[in-house]
Amino acid sequence: MHSQLPFVMRRPGARQRLAGAIAAQGVVVAILIALHPGRALASGVEGAASTAHVAVAPHAGMQDLKQASASQEVQYVAQWVADSGDNAGMPYIIIDKVNAKVFVLDVHGRLQGTAPALLGMVPGDGTVAGIGDQKLSAIRPEERTTPAGRFVASLGPDLHGKDILWVDYANALALHRVVKGTPVERRAQRLASATADDNRISYGCINVPVKFYDTVVNPAFTHNSGVVYILPEMSPARDMFGPHEAATRVRESPQVR
């Protein structure tokens, strides 16, 4: 839905190939549920972690986030994850749509890197049902949003076998290296601009600088799945991420396939 690269992965044949490549994740999930059934169900963990739950040190990395000029919303979610252990021992990413920034943290909440990002063309926290199966030409401009929520993400191949981070496979939502796009889109220039005012251009996928993806995102997710928190822009983050979310999660991605 969100760039020319991931689109073909929505075809049934491509889904089956990707499913076979990461089917082993289901075994790890079963072990995690067997060892920690209450926590696994409460956290809504549907992807795979490379290890069982790792204790998250409270307040870890908060000073680094402040020094990186993270918004109060980003700091709130990072603190909530540290206090609740919601990441279940996995690395995680916080995406600030309002300021068009991506923050990658390790399993202990320590900041690994931050970068600007390109996001869906229009503001909005939801997604259209079945959009992952639509052709790009059929997706109307008002439907090109980057949905908010908590997603279990894994690396997987695009059409050309190049790795991207599948955030919500069913809806063709991914975080990947910035794509060239059309000349009028000027994606590289938008990504390099000093403000976030011109960073809304994609079909919904999160585009990040190539170097940042290769040196921060890819290493963080190479040996394990992780959690991606996409902050809402139409409501406060605490309305989506907080104590009540452990019991009833309103936006959860399906298991990465």
Task: Judge contact between 145 and 124, C-beta under 8 A.
Answer: yes
Task: Judge contact between 227 and 220, C-beta under 8 A.
Answer: no
Instruction: Look at residue 18 and tell me whether its pLDDT is greater than 70.
Output: no
**Domains by residue range for the chain, with CATH:** 4-246 (2.40.440.10)
- Region 92-97: mean pLDDT is 98
What does the pLDDT look like over 28-73, one tens digit per residue?
Answer: 333 333 434 333 333 333 333 333 333 334 456 789 999 999 999 9
Instruction: Look at the pTM and tell me if it is higher than 0.75.
Output: no
- Region 74-86: mean pLDDT is 95
**pLDDT band, very low/low/confident/very high, at 172 (cuts 50, 70, 90):** confident
What does the pLDDT look like over 129-157, one tens digit per residue?
Answer: 655 555 666 565 655 789 999 999 999 99
What does the pLDDT look like over 224-255, one tens digit per residue?
Answer: 999 999 999 999 999 999 875 543 343 444 33
| Token output for 77 | 């979610």
- Region 6-31: mean pLDDT is 39
Task: Judge contact between 256 and 225, C-beta under 8 A.
Answer: yes
Mean pLDDT, the chain, as a whole number? 75
φ/ψ of 81, rounded to 5, equals -65, -45
pLDDT at position 245 is: 52
| Token output for 179 | 């794509």
pLDDT at position 188 is: 87
Give the span between the Cα atoms of 107 and 58, in whole angstroms. 12
Query: E strands of the chain, at which residues?
Result: 92-96, 101-105, 111-116, 119-120, 149-157, 163-168, 173-177, 200-202, 206-208, 226-230
